[in-house]
Chains A and B, each alone.
Chain A
Amino acid sequence: MISTLGTALVLGGLLAAAFGAVVGIEGGLRHRPGALRIVLAAVTAFLVCMVGANLTMIYALVTHDFSVHYVSLVGSRATPLVYTVVSLWSALEGSILFWGAILAVYVFGFARAHRHDPPTNPLLALGTMLAVGVFFSFLIAGPANPFGRVSPVPPDGPGPNPLLQNHVLMVVHPPMLYLGYVGMVVPFGIAVAALVRGQLGDAWMASLRRWTLIPWTFLSVGIVLGAWWAYAVLGWGGYWAWDPVENASFLPWLTATAFLHSAMVQERRHTLKLWTVSLSLASFLLTILGTFMTRSGVFNSVHSFTQSEIGPTFLVFLGAVLVVSILLIAVRGPLLVPEGSLGGVASRETSILLNNLLFAALTFTVLLGTVFPLVREAFSGVRISVGGPYFNRMAVPLGIAILFLMGVGPSLPWGRASAETVKRQFLVPAGVGAAVVLVCLAAGLRGGLALLTFGLAGFAGTVTLREMFLPVRVRMREQGEPLPRAVFRSATRARRRFGGYVVHLGVVMVFLAVAASQSYVVHTTATLKPGERFQLGSYTVQLAGLRNGVDPHRRWIAADIQVTDGRGRQHALAPRMNFYERSTDPIGSPAIRSAAFEDLYLTLLAFDQATPSASFNAWIFPMVGWIWWSLPLFVFGALFAAWPERRRVRAGAPERLPAPNEARSPGAVA
């Protein structure tokens, strides 16, 4: 019964999307105002069908209905309820089904936001988005169908992958990534519509920007949570392995970030239009490529699912959207004529242009490195590896250059800047940066790259703080406002600017944390008997004993450790080895003691119950926690920037920039 219901809903969604796509694209090309209502109805039907199908699957999972194909793959009576619900996205077919629901929600959200527009405007965009929806509905209905019927009905199932049940982050990380990934379809639709129409005005820019910022936020959260999960759960002491699937999530984030900056130049100076639109298209294309990389089984990765039939289907879709995008850019791109121009070398827009280049180079490098083993094998049959060392070597210089620009860009004005201005703007931040380096040297820290990063972080951090609080000072001095009110007023008058700088602060934090945690690691291995201890940095680590336990879905052995830190305080840690039924290798759980400026990280490598003894890996990672603690800055900054202002420029407004100071409050300029 559930199988039938689910399949019917999916097919209904496919029909609704197909209908809406055709009507939307045709109506958009031929300027049919009446089409909008039809498309909006199709979008609603698509939403109901997709969400309904997902709810049906969740119901099947929770009631352990093993006659449904997907439940027989990942369900298990022994799995706790939370993980049973989460297993909706733990394997291939379920995750594509989940994708469909999120896609429907995003398209519905966009349609709602633009329902009062002049009817022909959103048609093309909605049509394009629904066309993507058609593809995914087709996948769910066909090659990746989770609703197939299984007969005879098995009494129980294997349960989701044990790695996915180890930690609560597994509940949050995939949905965040999906919300980020899938959301890129909305800016794609808008960008395609803009290219087809041959114009990209301010109203649509605002929409494009906002609808990129939302998935960007989720993607940022998903990536950082993924890194946190790798660190806290996988136990190899790292948080980023340049694994193909990690790279797949990073690539669209890079182009979306570049887009958000390029959009500023587009809005201010009405130039770099082609860059901006291309970055928008690229963000979506990279999510499809990324999904292919994760799902096709072609890449060797921690995340890889088994090879399935959806690989070739996905490749065809990827090819189709690539061809469409390239055709649009080549044929219609030249119509996006810049109406303004770039300032001199020392101008903000040139900095952003350079920023675009650096981000594009980083995206290209990560993509090239990830795909290159396949290239070599396709052309010469030789298998090679392109791993962490390569990516670190290439990405670090680019990252440092980007950090530098983060300080330079906001310091420079729009348009031309005189040498006097440049000197005045850079003096203090450069001084702070140099001071930071000197302090680190004095503290005994060495290592060129790390010190350079710290110095540039000081430089960029100073610039960011100055740009955030300069208006506050102006308000306090010239209006006599008290500090809190001045902060509140200046922030809310220029939400994008303030929010953007808050995010910049988060990024500076991440750079600092990554540089420190990579360059100043302290590591040792030791084998201990109960009562013995070893020293690592200022910590004394002593083994108290071994103990074991049984959970419903796993058994484990833990080593009870007593840690004494530099101040004499005692902490109890218990690194573990977990044994799941489905795998023959134990999965370790590290024990982490997080202090403000460093983490002590212990893993249990081996134990001998006879002796008894246990072997450990121990690390001190300086500043690593600051990577995850930067998340609130990212989220707050992005939300603040995306929050709609009271006097919104309606999407139906004329698309040419109004004459300066006309029809707009100065406070809303940024």
Chain B
Amino acid sequence: MRRRGIWIGLSLAALTAVLLFVLAKGFGRDPHEVPFQLRGKPAPDFTLKRLDTGAPVKLSDLKGKPLVLNFWASWCGPCKVEHPVVTMAARRFGHEVQFYGVVFEDSEENARAFAGPPDPTFPQLLDERSRMAVDYGVTGVPETYFIDAQGIIRDKVAFPIDPRTMMEKLAALRQPAGPVSEVVR
């Protein structure tokens, strides 16, 4: 009877230790963070309409130069905070890197009101029915994608970007990429 008690006790203790370890490891990580698997993969193609001119813009047109895609929406508070950061980065680095904004789940009028007068260094694109956002694995706004000159997605920032992070990611864009893998279309 005693021996059985010890066995039960030991196995329960082991299970408890595993449980407590696993729960403790959970601290500090964000349970709402969604994994991003497109790092190092070619950016999916898209054709979107420009907000100011209505002209179509294809991803293939933009190859050859690094590209920063910034997803935002007029109803998104943090996007308002982030917008000047991206605009200034576009003005400063627009000759080396292309900056494009993509309107996420929003109406044309609201997007126009938010974006203000058209900015040649930071054109805005309309994502009809979020098809491009789905293709890019967007999980919310604001999100900023960093794509290199060969069209490989290098990184994604899924929070309102600050100047420091922007500089880091832009610098990384200039480095050569690793081996490329296929993405499911």
Q: Do chains A and B touch in the complex (CB under 8 A)?
A: yes
Q: Which residues of chain A have a CB within 8 Å of any CB of chain B? A: 292, 296-301, 304, 307, 311-312, 315, 318-319, 322-323, 326-327, 329-331, 333-334, 371, 374-375, 377-378, 383, 584
The answer to the question of B81 belonging to the interface, with a C-beta cut-off of 8 Å to chain A, is no
A425 to B51, CA, bound (A): 77
Tell me if B9 and A334 are in contact (CB < 8 A): no
Tell me if A318 and B25 are in contact (CB < 8 A): no
The answer to the question of B2 belonging to the interface, with a C-beta cut-off of 8 Å to chain A, is yes
Tell me if A298 and B35 are in contact (CB < 8 A): no
Which residues of chain B from 6 to 23 have a CB within 8 Å of any chain A CB? 6, 8-10, 12-13, 16, 18-23
Tell me if B77 and A331 are in contact (CB < 8 A): no
Q: A296-B26, A296-B27 are in contact. List 10 more A-B contacts (CB 8 A).
A: A298-B26, A299-B31, A300-B31, A307-B27, A311-B27, A312-B24, A312-B27, A330-B6, A371-B23, A377-B26
Q: A323-B16, A326-B9 are in contact. Are A315 and B23 (CB under 8 A)?
A: yes
Tell me if B5 and A330 are in contact (CB < 8 A): yes
Tell me if A329 and B8 are in contact (CB < 8 A): yes
0/1 interface trace, chain B 32-55, chain A, CB 8 Å (1 if under): 100100000000000000000000
Tell me if B23 and A292 are in contact (CB < 8 A): yes
- Using Cβ atoms and an 8 Å threshold, which residues of chain B touch A323? 13, 16
A297 to B31, CA, bound (A): 7
| 18 intermolecular pairs with C-beta atoms under 8 Å apart | A296-B23, A298-B23, A298-B31, A304-B31, A319-B16, A319-B20, A322-B16, A323-B16, A326-B9, A329-B5, A329-B9, A330-B5, A330-B8, A330-B10, A330-B12, A333-B5, A333-B8, A371-B19
Report the minimum CB–CB distance from A341 to chain B (whole Å). Answer: 15
Dominant secondary structure of chain B at its interface with chain A: helix
The answer to the question of B1 belonging to the interface, with a C-beta cut-off of 8 Å to chain A, is yes
> How many A-B contacts at CB < 8 Å in the complex?
74
A329 to B22, CA, bound (A): 24
A353 to B26, CA, bound (A): 36
The answer to the question of B4 belonging to the interface, with a C-beta cut-off of 8 Å to chain A, is yes
**Contact with B21, one of A298, A304, A333, A378 (Cβ below 8 angstroms):** A378
For B20, give the chain A residue with the smallest CB separation: A319
**Contact with B77, one of A312, A330, A584 (Cβ below 8 angstroms):** A584
Tell me if A326 and B16 are in contact (CB < 8 A): yes
The answer to the question of B75 belonging to the interface, with a C-beta cut-off of 8 Å to chain A, is yes
- Using Cβ atoms and an 8 Å threshold, which residues of chain B touch A301? 31
A322 to B5, CA, bound (A): 16
The answer to the question of B185 belonging to the interface, with a C-beta cut-off of 8 Å to chain A, is no
0/1 interface trace, chain B 123-163, chain A, CB 8 Å (1 if under): 00000000000000000000000000000000000000000
- Using Cβ atoms and an 8 Å threshold, which residues of chain B touch A371? 19, 22-23
Tell me if A298 and B27 are in contact (CB < 8 A): yes
Q: A322-B16, A378-B21, A584-B75 are in contact. Are A334 and B26 (CB under 8 A)?
A: no
Report the minimum CB–CB distance from A11 to chain B (whole Å). Answer: 28
Tell me if B24 and A315 are in contact (CB < 8 A): yes
